[in-house]
Structure 1
Amino acid sequence: MHTTLILKLARDSAGGEGDLTDLITDALSHAEEANRQLRDIVRGILPAALSRNGLAPGIESLAADTPIPVHLALTVPRLDSAIERTAYFTVAEAITNTVKHAHATQINVSCVLSADADGLILTIEDDGVGGADPSRGTGLTGLKDRIEASYGTIEIASPPQRGTRIVARIPLDASDRRQQAGKSIDETAVKYEEGS
């Protein structure tokens, strides 16, 4: 971050002197890309609050680091670690999208078990500009892929000038389903090898 700032100052001080400005601009581009990659790696590391204490403390630590107010309603017990990770990164991605694009003044995050206690329901909503469209290849596509990989569903409502509301449902047996799917693939491979 400090390197990027110094490079920007150097570029601006160079006064458009051809080669020097080009070199500084190139170095700045590499530094900014390195910062982006580092942020992606850090986002991929589980926070201690999540791994030690569960989903609610993990989301609380995420909210504490968000630059706009995040109001939380978290009433969930400890869950399977794979489900907690999926839920945490879903909320993290939704908050990141809001901060980057929505011009929102607040975010509300709710995390509860379904009425029959067989699924986790995540609701993330903001009061921003709305108009989010998963078909345009935004971070919403990643959210959809993440939830669907856990056999869940996701609904996104984002009318222009009326904020964005994301509701994701993850079945609590998602880990079992993934294991079963893996076994089915292994069994199919064995049958194929035996038949060849």
Structure 2
Amino acid sequence: MDLRAALARPLGYPRTVWPWRAVGYLVSGVPAGVAALVGLLLAAPLFVFGALALGRFERWRLRAVDRAPAPDPHRTPDRPGLAAWLRLRAREQATWRETAYALLHATVLWPLDLIALALCLGPPVVLLAAPVQFALDGHEAKIAKLVLVDSYPPTLLAAVLGALLLPVLLLPLGAYTAARAALARALLTPRDAELRDRIGEVTRSRARLVAAFEAERRRIERDLHDGAQQRLVALTMTLGLARLDAPPDSPLAAQLAKAHGEAAQVLTELRELIHGIHPQVLADYGLAAALADAADRSAVPVETDVDLPRLPAPVESAAYFAACEGLANVGRHSGADKARLTARYDAVDGRLTLLLHDDGRGGADPESGSGLTGLADRIAVLDGTLTISSPPGGPTLIRVEIPCPLPSA
């Protein structure tokens, strides 16, 4: 429950802790407002820095009346140092929202808070204090500077009236506090800016993860190519030489021939594995050559129409494996006689488009375990899209679009 939920039950509201939380929220804002006003008058050039501190303090104060989280909308600089921090803060919308709030708080909000406290708490407190005032004087008391009394019964009656008036006035005070807190939340933790910042940070972190993943794939490919594969090649050659030295038609020759064949088979499988992890042609010659190689390896004849420059490595890798998965599905599931693979890069829009068309039976469903769902997730990391048109009876068209910056020369 928070202040707004408590106000929805007006009869029970005075018996909860929320009226006093509201009072504490308004009272604690007055010194902050006075400090902001003094800072504005005495150190206007540094007011923005004070506004940042005030924004942090106000988000912390919101917890008194609103239990919903009020996260810091500011981003963390990409590099250490004061200069990077200043550049980032100057570009952030949250900084100028906090500055606007600080100006509003220094000039308008804290006086309004004082007025609300005075109007809603002043009369009940004055009436409740009438017996104390009379006891201190001993002869008479002037209630609220208006009514002069010279005995205890009128002061006690005033105290009872104050006790009855207090819960009544706590309701409008709570309503004002809820509106005041809502204004602070709207300016200091705007949901749209917060979501944009966080989505932007998630997007950047996903891009970094993809780049790290591709670098790791290339490292594994190099280790297998330069390590295990070379040892298998040497082993195969050694077994071949040993077969030449073994007596023909002997049991040793048969065992060596079998071992030689097994080593050759393992070498072939390892080469296929290396090619599946990250083909060397993709790293050396780019996506155009890698797509041509994938089309040549396809079980179904593939006509290619590829005209591409060198693109960023994560984009080339995602597009290549999307094409390979699509070609594998064509060979396994479509029953097609031929396929066509088209790839273009639009330098104006900064977008790679890859189209795979086959004349098969259609009916491709990404949710049937064809591997296309995983590819869609992989492409989505790069803000790309994968769309499939595959009506029953065919044809099937797979379209991949990946935004990417202009390739360097």
TM-score normalised by L of structure 2: 0.32
Task: State whether residues 112 and 120 of structure 1, in contact with CA within 8 Å, keep that contact through their aligned partners in structure 2.
Answer: yes
Q: Which of 294, 297, 300 lines up with 1:62 in the alignment?
A: 294
* Alignment of structure 1 residues 104-115 onto 2, 5 Å: 104-114=336-346
Structure 1 residues 97, 40: CA separation in 2 closer, same or farther (over 3 Å shift)? farther
Q: Supply the distance in 1 between the matched residues of 2:314 and 2:367 (Cα, whole angstroms).
A: 27
- Please tell me the residue identity of whatever aligns with 2:335: H
| Unaligned runs of at least 5 residues, structure 1 | 1-36, 174-196
CA radius of gyration, larger in: 2
Greater displacement, 157-166 / 109-118: 109-118
Is 1:71 aligned with 2:299? no
Q: Which of 393, 398, 401 lines up with 1:161 in the alignment?
A: 393
| Unaligned runs of at least 5 residues, structure 2 | 1-268
Q: Tell me the alpha carbon deviations over residues 93-127 of structure 1, each in whole angstroms, 9 at most, x when there is no partner.
A: 10011101001111111110136241100101111
- Please tell me the residue identity of whatever aligns with 1:129: R
Determine helix, strand or coil for the equivalent of 1:132: coil
Q: Which of 129, 133, 142 lines up with 2:365 in the alignment?
A: 133
Greater displacement, 77-86 / 128-137: 128-137
Determine helix, strand or coil for the equivalent of 2:400: strand
Determine helix, strand or coil for the equivalent of 2:344: strand
Q: Supply the distance in 1 between the matched residues of 2:382 and 2:278 (Cα, whole angstroms).
A: 18
Residue number in structure 1 paired with 2:284? 52
Q: Supply the distance in 1 between the matched residues of 2:388 and 2:365 (Cα, whole angstroms).
A: 9
Q: Which of 74, 95, 101 lines up with 2:333 in the alignment?
A: 101
Task: State whether residues 300 and 330 of structure 2, in contact with CA within 8 Å, keep that contact through their aligned partners in structure 1.
Answer: no
- Please tell me the residue identity of whatever aligns with 1:89: F
Q: Tell me the alpha carbon deviations over residues 130-176 of structure 1, each in whole angstroms, 9 at most, x when there is no partner.
A: 00011323222122112112110111000011121011100104xxx
Structure 1 residues 48, 39: CA separation in 2 closer, same or farther (over 3 Å shift)? closer
Determine helix, strand or coil for the equivalent of 2:298: coil
Task: State whether residues 102 and 163 of structure 1, in contact with CA within 8 Å, keep that contact through their aligned partners in structure 2.
Answer: no
Q: Supply the distance in 1 between the matched residues of 2:377 and 2:356 (Cα, whole angstroms).
A: 17
Structure 1 residues 160, 119: CA separation in 2 closer, same or farther (over 3 Å shift)? same
Q: Supply the distance in 2 between the matched residues of 1:68 and 1:92 (Cα, whole angstroms).
A: 12
Percent identity for Structure 1 against Structure 2:
39
Determine helix, strand or coil for the equivalent of 1:72: strand
* Alignment of structure 1 residues 139-178 onto 2, 5 Å: 139-173=371-405
Is 1:90 aligned with 2:327? no
Task: State whether residues 94 and 143 of structure 1, in contact with CA within 8 Å, keep that contact through their aligned partners in structure 2.
Answer: no
Query: How large is the RMSD of aligned CA atoms in angstroms?
Result: 2.2
Greater displacement, 109-118 / 57-66: 109-118
Structure 1 residues 161, 43: CA separation in 2 closer, same or farther (over 3 Å shift)? farther
Determine helix, strand or coil for the equivalent of 1:105: coil
Structure 1 residues 155, 54: CA separation in 2 closer, same or farther (over 3 Å shift)? same
Higher relative contact order (CA 8 A, sep 6+): 1
TM-score normalised by L of structure 1: 0.64
